[in-house]
Structure 1
Amino acid sequence: MGFDDMVLNEKKLIEIRRELHKIPEIGMQEFKTQAKLLEIIKELPQTYLKIKTWETAILVKVSGKHAGYTIGYRTDIDGLPVDEQTRLPFSSENSGRMHACGHDIHMTVALGILSFFADNQPLVDMTFIFQPAEENASGGKQLYESGVLNDWMPDEIYAFHDNPQLPMGAIGCRQGTLFAGTCEIHARFIGESGHAAFPQFANDMVVAGSQFVNQVQTIVSRNVDPIQAGVVTLGHFEAGKTGNVIAGSAQIDGTIRALTQDMNAMIQKRVRKIAEGVAATYECQLELDLHQGGYYPVENNPQTTAAFIKYMKNSENVNFIETKPAMTGEDFGFLLSKIPGTMFWLGVESKYSLHSEFFAPREGAIIKGVEAMTGFLQIRQNEVEQKSK
């Protein structure tokens, strides 16, 4: 069976992508997106399919010829609070919302793969996960911890992220960490405001906050192993209202990025120690929230990734590129901390970056992604079947 003969061929997939692109929604609010996805999924052959929902997520089980092993495939479905400026004829119809991270491409490829296996019964069971809230609320962690996945839990799992820097349709991957783990920093120092002429009667939080900012800069230079990687960025500092009033509070927000969970935890520990030390030194109150949620490092499993890279390298129809780690975050890292699996890049060749209001991925990548993954998943099912005998 050729890809042109699939229920969702390339022409139909591009139409679907454009329909999804028009209706971006923020995480855990993807109601129209869920409805559209369910409509499409229910139009597929249903012989091997079972469908269930949780919040705005959709899970689809494809019953294989032989039970006992399950391969998972996950896509995220949410958009971003970005005002689209592409002027495409299928631009976002939701003001201030855009699929600026390419999750419309992710969903469409997932539907293409699901379409193939709905028509061609897999050797083993498959679980397709259409996951909400990747961008804003650790949707992967929420879904996993809800228990909704328990009955259809994958033994291994796969997902991709589109990459505007890679050629259209190229597959990028690597052993080890693909994306960093992230952690939000929210620090509030509370002292006492007062008149600029009488500092002895106040407790200046501009000074305290500035010391926190300066000391945090020593973490990467003095606590992180020089041959490893870590980033601490403080992007927001707000204190005071006017120049002749001593600020009684300071709000500082930022982010931690690290390629391993151990490194992320170490940096979090140092941020906390520094914040507590500043609060003690300046005799002020501290409110500190270090929020990681489900944004763990995306650490690819050695076995599944070796099989994936071997197939992609040896496939005549795949342009495989070994990529370097990136400091971007992805909540698929949480699922990979629970289920062995692999995340990869799909090239979409755009001159604009992810999260840009002008981001416009090339749609020719969709069918290339579908072809590469259906080919790999068929081979992978054969390998799993042989090992179980």
Structure 2
Amino acid sequence: MFNQADLIKIRRHLHQIPELALHETQTHAYLQQVVQSLPQTWLTIKQPAVLPTALLVKVHGTAAKRVIGYRADIDALPVTEATGLPFSSTHPGVAHACGHDMHMTVALGVLSYFAEHQPQDDLLFFFQPAEEAEYGGKRAYDAGVFTGDWHVDEFYGLHDRPDLPAGAIGCTNGTLFAGTTEINIDFIGQGGHAAFPQNANDAVVAAAYFVTQVQSIISRNVAPTDSAVITLGKLQAGTIRNVIADHARIEGTLRGFTQDAISFLQQRIRTVAQGVATSCGCQVEVALNQGGYYPVENDPALTAAFIAYMQAQPDVNFIETPGVMTGEDFGYLLNKIPGTMFWLGVNDDHELHSAQLSPDEAALSRGVKAITGFLAHRMQA
């Protein structure tokens, strides 16, 4: 089993070779190298052709009643690292600014334990590409990766969290992460001279009406006790001050805590956009892309058991954490397979996705111990 020094060495190597979604070739090769260094007696390795940078490792149990899945995401972000660490990213413009190097390392630590201590149930470790973009979880599930001998009965996974103490476990029974949808709206009008607005249909005016009216969706269509966000972060229109624009593009994001809520809000956005276009004499094109970023809705029974175990451990610092509006594509897998996502505290002053994110490596061995303990406990149920 990997000790703390082993875990730090692995994490720092992974930290230096960050790669973007669906291009994690070096990362994949290193993960495979580490896995193959472990005792292979109970292990089976699979590299799905439909997702070449993914890696699945099955640990065969002694008397399996179920297959317990454990997922770790492996991709990085298009961020230039600014930590000044001696093991900083060697790939210009790419960094593990969301801590997926920590995720992978903890998963390898858990795997190393069960490679030496055969579990009772089967365990399936899923090293997943493309979480930050291109929704690798959905790609894997929809391609049938988790079928036949590689099916999963329940799934677990973590995300590091800078504002929790190193090694702390955070969770909630309910939605941990919001589901997200990319919003792209194009208003197409009729351009013209600024002096003759009666001969044009101003796309800027349509866009302005949409930006203001869409705010009423949250304030008037969502119950005050519920949570949802619509943020329109980009608006582009026009070329010069005295020409009426014939095109305006709006880009934004929608976030909600349940898939039903997101589906409803998506329809309201379409309705408002069409209404504005009709009233302004414009055409509108609405593209809403959710991909695999469903809400991370933790299974009630499995999560209650997870929380009860963590609370009962004297050496685990368990913290109840409410849901947040950030997105995670593990939500798609939890929409199809029951399971639980939880936080691992990494004690850093910088936010996730920050170029200066520098997780506390003390979290590694503490996380491994807490998770191996829970999985062994779960197998007794």
Mapping of 1:92-241 within 5 angstroms? 92-151=89-148, 152-241=150-239
Unaligned runs of 5+ in 2: none
- Cα 1:80–1:175 change in 2 (3 A) is same
Task: Indicate the residue corresponding to 2:30 in structure 1.
Answer: 36
SS in 1 for 2:324: coil
TM alignment of 1:212-361, pairs within 5 A: 212-361=210-359
Counterpart-to-counterpart distance in 2, 1:115 and 1:283: 64
Match of 1:74? 71
* Cα displacement string for residues 174-195 of structure 1 (whole angstroms, at most 9, x for unaligned residues): 1111111111100111112222
Root mean square deviation, CA, Å: 0.8
Are 1:48 and 2:42 an aligned pair?
yes
Work out the CA distance in 2 between the residues paired with 1:234 and 1:64.
49
- Residue 39 of structure 2 aligns with an amino acid whose one-letter code is P
Partner SS state of residue 59, structure 1: strand
Structure 1 match to 2:365: 367
Percent identity for Structure 1 against Structure 2: 58
SS at match of 1:180: strand
How far has the Cα of 1:334 moved from its partner? 0.5
Helix, strand or coil at the partner of 1:382? coil
Q: Using the TM superposition, give the Cα deviation of residue 278 of structure 1 relative to its aligned residue in structure 2, in angstroms.
A: 1.2
Structure 2: distance between partners of 1:241 and 1:82: 31
- Whichever residue aligns with residue 360 of structure 2, its letter is R
Give the superposition deviation at 1:68. Answer: 4.1
| SS of residue matched to 1:327 | strand
Q: Deviations over 1:341-381 (max 9, x none)?
A: 10000000100000001111101101110000000000101
Q: Matched residue of 1:307: which SS?
A: helix
Counterpart amino acid of 1:250?
Answer: A
Counterpart-to-counterpart distance in 1, 2:255 and 2:181: 7
What amino acid sits opposite 1:130 in the alignment?
F
The residue identity in structure 2 corresponding to 1:95 is P
Secondary structure in structure 2 of the residue aligned to 1:210: helix
SS in 2 for 1:379: helix
Secondary structure, counterpart of 1:328 in structure 2: strand
TM-score between the two structures when normalised by the length of structure 1? 0.96
Deviations 1:53-98 (A, max 9, x none): 1221101111001134100100100000111111100111111101
- What code does the residue aligned with 1:67 have? A
Indicate the SS of the match to 2:340.
strand
Query: In structure 2, how many angstroms separate the alpha carbons of the residues matched to 1:105 and 1:351?
Result: 16
